[in-house]
Amino acid sequence: MTVSLPPSPPAPAASVPPSPSLYDAAGRVMLPSPSSTASAPEAPGYVQRGPQGDTKVMQHNSPVTYQATRFEKDWSQGGGSVVDDVLKKAADKTTVKHTFHIAPGVRLHCAITFAALAGGCGGDPPPPPPSNDGDMRMNMAPASQLAPGSPAPPTPSVEECIAIYRANKPLPHGCPVDTPTRSVDAEMQERAHRNDQGGG
């Protein structure tokens, strides 16, 4: 025996709740409309107040001006400690300096500090170059040669360069690098010529 029942009617579509979603069909985030979330702004719980009263309270300007006394020389000027000052004064008082003359024009300066049990020696610094040192490799070219299309300045002759060198003036651009050597050679030739004339 078989019993057939009539099919149950489908549930109405309005009663099925939609599934929650964060994104719409285009992939954008779904935000609630501004009208639904519009409300009065909440008052902040804390409001920072501006400074009141004396605004110069953090300025430490002393109305008393400092005047140096006769004890100023006994205080540290470099910001070091008292021990550093004592050691420096002891080293200065126990330092012995002497200069040894090794050869003519060669001196050796030595100093020994007995408080620190240390010492050392050193020579004179190298002399500065003479005023008539005209090594053209150490100088830049004149500005007129750097400008395009400008004529080059006239080059002085060797005799003019030797005369300028003997006058202790800086050599102009264009003089030979060995002008000092040529000046010595010319002076020796002049002496030999004078000796030949005087002897004849």
What is the separation of C-alpha 147 from the centre of its chain, rounded to a whole number of angstroms? 33
pLDDT at 43: 73
Q: Render 162-185 in DSSP notation, one character per residue.
A: HHHHHTT-PPPTTS-TTHHHHHHH
Q: Is the pLDDT of residue 71 over 80?
A: yes
Handedness of CA 50, 53, 57, 62 (dihedral sign): positive
What is the value of pTM for the model shown? Answer: 0.30
User: Looking at residues 66-84, what average pLDDT do you find?
Assistant: 74
pLDDT at 77: 64
Q: Is the pLDDT of residue 56 over 80?
A: no
pLDDT at 194: 86
User: Looking at residues 80-92, what average pLDDT do you find?
Assistant: 76
pLDDT at 102: 84
Averaged pLDDT score across all residues of the chain: 76
Within 10 angstroms of residue 173's Cβ, the number of other Cβ atoms is 16
User: Looking at residues 36-42, what average pLDDT do you find?
Assistant: 61
Using pLDDT thresholds of 50, 70 and 90, give the confidence band for residue 168: confident
Contact between residue 183 and residue 166 where contact means Cβ atoms under 8 Å apart: yes
Q: Tens of pLDDT along 88-131? A: 888 788 888 888 888 887 888 888 887 767 788 888 887 776 66
Burial class (CB in 10 A: 0-12, 13-18, 19+), 88: middle
